[in-house]
Amino acid sequence: MENLVDAIDGYGLLAVSLTAVVYLFAEAIYSIYFHPLTDVPGSFWCKVSVWPSCYQALTGYRHIWIWQNHEIYGDRFRYRPDGVLIATPNGYREIYNSKANVKRPSDTRSGGGTMKTIMR
């Protein structure tokens, strides 16, 4: 156990901390500039982290926050790095048209499909 503690001390802790900071910075750069949802408007913090959405859900005012963001950014906005909220049917057509870089999910059918679950 002493060897593990000694390995974490000094340079080991610095290396782990530096690696974490570099990873978070690289993830933020990717989310802002290279992610497929880059063109979707939204606040800087929502493009970088899920924490704004989580915070609003914990405070109980997420519905108001969503409405305010729709007022600011329009019919669609990026509320987390990998998510978009759309307010109108035309927004869905814009996202899922043939020229968009977003693939339509396979589970968008309404009824008639077989549901694959553990229990049948």
Q: What predicted TM-score, i.e. pTM, was given to this entire model?
A: 0.66
pLDDT of residue 89: 85
Contact 107, 116 (CB under 8 A): no
pLDDT of residue 108: 60
Q: Per-residue confidence of the chain (120 residues) as pLDDT tens digits?
A: 566 666 566 777 888 889 999 999 999 999 999 998 898 899 999 999 999 999 999 999 999 999 999 999 998 899 999 999 999 888 777 767 767 666 666 666 555 555 555 554
